[in-house]
Amino acid sequence: MTMPPLTLYLAAPRGFCAGVDRAIKIVEMALQKWGAPVYVRHEIVHNKFVVDALRDQGAVFVEELDECPDDRPVIFSAHGVPKAVPAEAARREMIYVDATCPLVSKVHIEAERHHENGLQIVMIGHAGHPETIGTMGQLPEGEVLLVETEADVATLDVRNPESLAFVTQTTLSVDDTKGIVAALQARFPAIVGPHKEDICYATTNRQESVKAIADKIDAMLVVGAPNSSNSRRLVEVAANNGCGYAQLVQRATDIDWRAIEGIRSIGITAGASAPEVLVNEVIDALRARYDVTVELVETAQENVEFKVPRVLRVPA
């Protein structure tokens, strides 16, 4: 039986970023150094496949520090944690390793610097996301106000419109954030912020590569988890840039074959916490049904690498 032809546009860069790579390495190296169990506060990165693999090696995932015993090491996830968390771990004399991505830590430092200069902070981010909770938790309550949309800017109740700064979550939509920043600048002309938003290189690059293919394809599959902010943004970016159907899939079994029936072209990308093995699984599932021709669409090259903390680089 001949299979229908399908052109598969494979976005690059896609998948793991340097912060995710480092966070996973931190858990693996901690297990090697201290043996199992090693506790991890929150999913180290938002991907079930990654979390399950680390759990098999002896990592224990918890949501709060009070679920960890004092005498086992604990790792804080790539998304960052409120200041109170490492402070509590230190008070309990626990061994802890912070896997917060250095690009998230950079935003924490920025927020602190503005606070020291007497500015109140506006954070552009998603309520309830661990990164937002972590960044807001760098400063005392009330010092960081959250806005999620342009509409939120209109109702923002600030202490002093002349003494404001903004920071952003690292995994937002570049285009949506521009609109929110413009609304903030229109309402508070004195507000200060980063030269570019705090959206990281990996988020920006993955969105750019999706934009480069979105209007050439009948459908887009984004490999990633439903709680992964940057993966969900990729689905939106595809839809907002001309792709008629975009779906987030955790793995091949999630593909809605009925929804993509009759397609001649498809795009594939992956969020920053999705491993390449899952991308290959999705491609294999397409190859089983279509005569696939792959075209790589590479819009940037990445060579960012972050070192793991020193405590893991020295022998026990």
State which H helix or E strand residue 113 sits in.
helix 102-116
By the rule CB under 6 A, 47 interacts with ligand SF4? no
DSSP code of 65?
G
By the rule CB under 6 A, 172 interacts with ligand SF4? no
Q: Between 250 and 273, whose beta carbon lies closer to ligand SF4?
A: 273
From the annotation, which residues make up the binding site?
A: 17, 46, 79, 101, 129, 170, 200, 228-230, 273
Q: Between 279 and 285, whose beta carbon lies closer to ligand SF4?
A: 279
Using an 8 Å Cβ cutoff, are 79 and 23 in contact?
Answer: no
Q: How many residues bind ligand SF4 (CB under 6 A)?
A: 15
By the rule CB under 6 A, 104 interacts with ligand SF4? yes
By the rule CB under 6 A, 272 interacts with ligand SF4? yes
Query: What residues does 164 pair with on adjacent strands?
Result: 120
Q: Which of 131, 148, 298, 305 is catalytic?
A: 131
Using an 8 Å Cβ cutoff, are 218 and 16 in contact?
Answer: no
Using an 8 Å Cβ cutoff, are 58 and 26 in contact?
Answer: no
CA distance 42 to 65: 9
State which H helix or E strand residue 146 sits in.
strand 144-147
Residue located via tokens 């920006």: 204
Closest CA to 173 of 247, 239, 213, 229: 229
By the rule CB under 6 A, 274 interacts with ligand SF4? no
- Closest-by-Cβ residue to ligand SF4 is 19
Q: Would residue 131 show up in a list of annotated catalytic residues for this protein? A: yes
By the rule CB under 6 A, 234 interacts with ligand SF4? no
Q: Which of 6, 59, 103, 219 binds ligand SF4 (CB under 6 A)?
A: 103
- Residue span 137-166 as binding mask against ligand SF4, x where in contact by CB under 6 A, dash where not: ------------------------------
How many other C-beta atoms lie within 10 A of the C-beta of residue 75? 28
- Report the interface residues with ligand SF4, using CB under 6 A: 17-20, 78, 101, 103-104, 170-171, 200, 202-203, 230, 272
